Structure 1
Amino acid sequence: MNGKDVRKLVIACDAGMGSSVMLAGHLRKSLKKQNVTVEHTPVDSIPSDADVVVCHTGLAARARRGAAEGTPLVQFEVYLGDPAVDRLVKAIKDGGEVGG
């Protein structure tokens, strides 16, 4: 999927508190000029209309089960400053490929 086609990005987390909420806020700020909605949701309740799901690597298996088939899943290790998240933001801004 091309990053320019992303309209809904979902941060999937386990507890719904703390670091993942900060990541969602950071992504909202980073993507403010793009037409992208950033939502924060429990990993077991990923909406079917998500274009991209972002989650910690420890939740990837659960996120894959909960996301619609074919939805790219971006996994990260560090909540702020992770290279995978930085690549995603760049792809959305510049139109690069968003992998799954």
Structure 2
Amino acid sequence: MVTSIDGKDIKKLVIACDAGMGSSVMLAGQLRRTLKKEPVTVEHTPVDSIPGDADVVVCHSGLAARARRAAPDVVIVSFEVYIGDPAVNQVVTAIKNGGVVGA
């Protein structure tokens, strides 16, 4: 199981969801805008269909165990709040400025 990655090595960031309520879609859109100048692709996908080339998966804490089962070799970052969560902000900062995500 991979537990950390350097932010500068992240090329694909996946927002994984389950309920389809739209909150994770909004988060994915916000991250695309925030990271548009970075060499990172932001995708939104169901938690059980995480692509194999994902570098980091961001998902609500309630989905973290499922995400780890679906993508055991990917860093999983869980959060509590869809907008403004410190865990998500840390991922953005690491991508923009370097630093470790996970661990």
Q: Same fold (TM over 0.5)?
A: yes
Q: Are residue 52 (structure 1) and residue 70 (structure 2) matched? A: no
Q: Are residue 62 (structure 1) and residue 96 (structure 2) matched? A: no
Shift of 1:16: 3.1
- The answer to which structure has the higher strand fraction is 2
RMSD (Å) for aligned C-alpha atoms: 0.9
Aligned equivalents of 1:83, 1:59: Cα separation in 2:
17
Gaps of 5+ in 2: none
Identity of aligned residues (%): 74
Shift of 1:57: 0.1
Aligned equivalents of 1:2, 1:18: Cα separation in 2:
29
Q: Which residue of 2 aligns with 1:73?
A: 76
SS for the counterpart of 1:98 is: strand
Given the two structures, how large is their TM-score scaled by the length of structure 2?
A: 0.92
Aligned equivalents of 1:4, 1:40: Cα separation in 2:
20
Given the two structures, how large is their TM-score scaled by the length of structure 1?
A: 0.95
Whether the aligned pair in 2 keeps the contact of 1:16 and 1:41 (CA below 8 Å) is no
Equivalent AA in structure 2 for residue 44 of structure 1: D
- The Cα offsets for residues 37-87 of structure 1, whole Å up to 9 and x where unpaired, read as 0000000000010000000000001000001x3311110000000000001
Gaps of 5+ in 1: none
Equivalent AA in structure 1 for residue 101 of structure 2: V
Task: Find runs of 4+ consecutive structure 1 residues off by over 6 angstroms.
Answer: none
SS for the counterpart of 2:101 is: coil
Question: What is the aligned residue count?
Answer: 99
Aligned equivalents of 2:56, 2:100: Cα separation in 1:
12
